[in-house]
Amino acid sequence: MTPYLLLPLFLSALLSLATSQDAAFWNNQAQRTLEEALNLRQNQGIAKNVIFFLGDGMDITTTTAARILRGQMDGETGEEGSLAWDDFPHVALSKTYNTDQQVADSAGTATAFLCGVKAKAGTLGIDDGAERGSCASVAGTEVDSVLVEANRAGKATGLISTARVTHATPAAAYAHSAERDWENNDRVPDEEADEGCIDIARQLVEENNFINLILGGGRVNFLPNTTLDPEYGDENTTGYRTDGLNLIEQWLSVKGSSAQYVWNKTALDRVDLSSTEYLLGLFEPSHMKYEVDRLNDTAGEPSIAEMTELAINMLSSDEDGFFLMVESGRIDHGHHMGVAHKALTDTIAFHEAVAKAIEMTDSDDTLILVTADHGHAFAIGGYASRGNPIFGYDDRNNGSDDKPYLTLSYANGPGGIALADSYINTGARPNHYTSDYDSEGFVQDATVPAISETHGGADVAIYAHGPWSHLFHGTHEQNYIPHVVRYAACYSDSEDNACTRATEEPPMCTGSAHPTVLARCASVILPLISLIFLWISM
């Protein structure tokens, strides 16, 4: 055997020696984790700030696959890696069903995790008493979100989404609508408009103009159909509104000189936060770009991490604290396309946003939550070797037809159409030995052919970090989430919350800047100091 043929065997043996994971390795790793758990304390301070991260469609399978991909992009085997929320001390599960559906949609779930009540699929900010698509049924069913309640509590507020800011998840933070699709007036049926229902974009501008920061996509829902889009500027990219309203100009006129509107990254980077109290950024006519396409955008788009960093810098100037919701909306869209590459790279971008928030805040006074609205029909399968490319095929086994199968697949979706076509045309499955399976647009195999892959009904995770994060501790109904936020941040008028508790129990005199806690600390410490001086003077 020639020397150069021995080289791969030598390198393989060297790698195996360097990464030996014997009993001592795993025992030591487990003991370190145990020690951290034993030293974990319950943070019963007050959440001056709340950052609510929502990965749309980011189920546990997506998190696992993205974690492996991130590690492999960094030259590791991947499985041992971690995402920002993997290190959060408290984790629970969330049951995602809607009141009328076993497998949820994003509107009903957003109403649950932002407003505190479960609701029908397709409805926003209203309870189960309303009927989808019926404007007349809305009155008396409206429920407010924790973002609205944060404003009432004197907090600064912000909203970020890589989807349209009028899309289902962000809209539940401010709107009350019997139909998630009523994003602009042209989508509201005449008979429903006659009943008094106004579209979601108008609700944002006219009824919720207290929100300090709004960043995302969706210019078309704010501009008249006679106005050309500023980025693409042709007759095919006008606004969608048929009522003649330019809601961007309307928002600017109401907010005055302390407000700024931007539509590209250059303008966003030039914003003077010291003189800006209100900021609206709409970076695409519809949804923002997938992360893999973002750098090729015509006008330039900020990443979700860059938007998060700017938001925290801006909102932190409010001495009363802030509430910020950040949605990675296109994880979901990548899955619907059956393109795992787009879903997972957007998940990694989402990880970077969470990591930035952790870096910029203090867990003593900032509650950070990371969760998902629902899952997808997405699976990791097979018995591939450790470190096998996550987009690749099982390197140890083939199917019963002696052809390889991919590690990542879907139960349904566009990949099922390609699979059916392959059977029709060749009588067999595609041969993935020659597939371009790691390309950015590759469509994974799916069992059932469908134009769009569906959501999944499995529980999703809740990762929590900061004051009262230990209240996430088991399997919860999804609507439980904002009740913890209200308690930890004292948004509710309830007699039992973190603030009232601080006046009743011995406070944490360090790690909280809330006035109630400091006053309680002073009431305990100052008499003690007086007694000490009295004793010294005797």
Query: Is residue 426 annotated as involved in ligand binding?
Result: no
Decide: 520 and 499 in contact? Cβ < 8 Å.
no
Decide: 176 and 110 in contact? Cβ < 8 Å.
no
User: Comparing C-alpha atoms, which of 265, 288, 268 is closest to residue 279?
Assistant: 268
Decide: 213 and 269 in contact? Cβ < 8 Å.
no
Query: Is residue 332 annotated as involved in ligand binding?
Result: yes
Look up tokens 């360097």; give the residue. 18
- Buried-exposed string 457-484: b where 16+ CB fall within 10 A, e elsewhere: bbbbbbbbbbbbbbbbeeebebbbbbbb
Dist. CA 368–CA 271, nearest whole Å: 26
Query: Is residue 64 annotated as involved in ligand binding?
Result: no
- Phi and psi for 138 in degrees, rounded to 5? -75, -40
Dist. CA 273–CA 253, nearest whole Å: 19
Strand-pairing partners, residue 448, are: 412
Decide the pairing of beta strands 213-217 and 475-477: unpaired
Specify the amino acid at residue 252.
L
In the residue annotation, 106 being an active-site residue is answered as: yes
Cα-based angle 503, 476, 53 (whole degrees, multiple of 5): 75
Return the structure tokens found at 396: 């140890």
Decide: 337 and 416 in contact? Cβ < 8 Å.
no
- What number of residues does the chain have? 538
Q: Which of 94, 106, 161, 328 is catalytic?
A: 106
User: Comparing C-alpha atoms, which of 216, 95, 212, 222 is closest to residue 147?
Assistant: 212
Strand-pairing partners, residue 158, are: 213, 324
Ordered alpha helix ranges (H), 125-233: 146-152, 168-171, 190-194, 200-202
**What sign does the dihedral 407-412-414-419 (CA atoms) show?**
positive
- Phi and psi for 91 in degrees, rounded to 5? -135, 140
Residue by residue, DSSP assigns 525-537 as HHHHHHHHHHHHH
Residue by residue, DSSP assigns 352-370 as HHHHHHHHHS-TTTEEEEE
Query: Is residue 374 annotated as involved in ligand binding?
Result: yes
Return the structure tokens found at 384: 């591939």
Distances (CA, A) of 440 to 163, 290, 343, 349, 382: 19, 10, 10, 15, 22
Query: Is residue 169 annotated as involved in ligand binding?
Result: yes
Annotated binding residues for Mg(2+) = 56, 167, 169, 327
Annotated binding residues = 56, 167, 169, 327, 332, 336, 373-374, 455
Catalytic residue positions? Answer: 106
Annotated binding residues for Zn(2+) = 56, 332, 336, 373-374, 455
